[in-house]
Structure 1
Amino acid sequence: MAAEFRAWATIDLQALRANLALARAQNPDCSVVAVVKANGYGHGIVPVAKALQDQLRAGDCFGVASIEEAQTLRSAGITEPVLLLEGFVTSGELAEVAQQGFQCVLHSPYQLDAMLALFASGKSIEPLTVWLKIDTGMHRLGLSPAEFVTAWNALKSHSGIRKLIVMSHFACADDPQSPATERQVALLHETLAAANVPLATTELSLAASAAILIWPQTHYQWFRPGIMLYGGAPIMGENGIDRGLRPVMTLRSRLMAIKTVAAGEAVGYGASYICEREQRIGIVSIGYGDGYPRRAPSGTPVLINSRHDGRIVQQRTGLAGRVSMDMIIVDLSECEHAAVGDEVILWGEGLPADEIARRCGTLAYELFCQVTPRVHFQYV
């Protein structure tokens, strides 16, 4: 039971499935890459993928960052197509891609050379599905327009290729006011025209979570929901719930001690928090050793679930002082019913991770991915 653990995360798999359904509803005709990289954004790659299996349609796939993540899915008995979003680096990884039938992104000329060498080796392999990634302005991964023309011409009719899909990635899709997204779309179409790519028969993929929600003109044939699957907001300044997304991870701990501190006394490391009056404080058994962000400032909200008159009373309060490795301190001045053992919600149900992330100057993506193995996971 949850009460046996000092810190635990409840993973709501129904919410996960609902978020995928919300993504698909933005354009039911699109195929989906359900992105489960980085251990399912910290939620557990195998439980997440298994929960989504029956939500995928024929032709959909899972998206991962590495060959190791793809192998983890296969080892767990997950047989749906898997796309390596970073492609391969070594010839050994390419051989594994071919052997396992993984789909892969091709973003650099060295990958094209390796793939053509594999095809020329005479080894018996099943034709590959390859996603050609164009750098349309993010300047991270992707072929230049000239490199794309070379890759397209080399692979478009090759017997080693089952299907070519063209993709790119937006730099500023989370900002509805940024002109960068439309510039990237324009460059994509210029590049496709230069390569004489037949748009009527070529599948394109540009939209990840933010573009799925606010740039419908970029949906094309595929989109790639990531953070939105987990209930995080992909759009700057918003909470996931603002778009109908449901939190999947609720991070919980409990009060392990309560004490009263005199006015003028400091609490926590660095004596950075001074009690302006006699103050009741609570010690919560979670800290940065569990993945709660050390940079969370005083006032960062938490929810206290206390019992009173036979019912649960939920009150919002904030941190008091610095986050320690194993503990945080919270202000209980207005939480008169709080008692040792009461549940504390750090983010999730009733308290968006996006709100906590903004307090910490980061994103919900990072909060989710930094939860450590010391936290017990419960899948419901």
Structure 2
Amino acid sequence: MALLFPAVGLGLLWKAVTMTRAYRHYGTVELVMTPYPAAIGGQMGGTILVPRLRAQDLITPGAEVTVTLECIYTYVSGSGKNRSRVERILWAERGTPRVEAAGPGVRLAFSFDLPKDLPEADAERSSRYHFWRLSVKADIEGVDLERQYDIPAFKGDARSQSAGHDISAQVRALRDEKSRAAKEAIQSGRLDLPGLSRAMHYQDYGHQIKMRFPMFRNKVLTLFAWVFAGGFGFASSMMLMSAFSGGGFGLLAGLFTIPFVLVAIAASAAALYLPFNRLVVRIDRHRIRTLRSWLYLPVRSRKLAMNQVRHLAIKRTGSTGQGVDKVEHFKLIAVDNQQNKITIAEDLDGQDVAQHFCDYLAERIGVSAISEPNIKATGL
């Protein structure tokens, strides 16, 4: 603890030096918005003038400039000395702006399409509020450029008049391109895509398909569960120790520790289950068989006759990361004629990859596939 405050101080000093150096290097970086304010249901667009950034600096190998727009919900978590502000990104897009020469510097032009169901920026900033943030970042040799702008955004349908470079169209085109590439790869039997091979080992023997989902495939979730369990476990133990030494008041305080203890137990169970659970799926022309195990100890096995399979579908199971780095995870389920569901694949990354694999496997085993991401699967 004695070294914590000097380390924090050095970190703040380094940040201040870096920001001062970047300001002196690039000068005032001005944002001009069109329309103003940004229109939720329309567009946010504009230009960013960087007076001391040369256009040739952006065409050197490794140089990259991006513009990111985020809708953020922020709130204060904790109490007392443990209060901290948390940001949750509700929507985000990132792309490459158009670069125009502007005297000795450059002008970056861009526009975004804003979905109409997103919240407006809150004029009053309390402990909980929504705001919109525009960020520009240029990774170039020497001093990197990085600026952020808190922008007003309200309901409307106004379009950008001057930008003319649609980042949202760029994002959609890139996603469509990746989706087509994934579909072509999966349809040709190449299942070594990152969204599939991270968690699944697929083998097709002709007469039988075998899919293995090994232990330790959920490293990020496991780490989160361990941290969560450790935090709540420590808090629960401290609260219980205080309760036992507090007499009658301690008994009352002990009642308030019950939710913390229950969360700690649940998180500990998840921390033990996630890294060591394993799923093996075998599919032949007669049936689907699944075996869930923990440390190779059988937990549950299920069977489903092929003539009882109604269709295959995907279901969203969660996500990791947020904003432009958010990755959604899906499972693949088989649904029988009585609407019973059985998980036959899991930890598939990305909706497009999951749906393409669902379509491929359904065609391979001779059943139908539907796109029904909100269907709920039960059982292990």
TM (norm. structure 2) is 0.24
Q: Which structure has more strand as a fraction of its residues? A: 2
Higher relative contact order (CA 8 A, sep 6+): 1
Query: Could you say which structure has the larger radius of gyration?
Result: 2
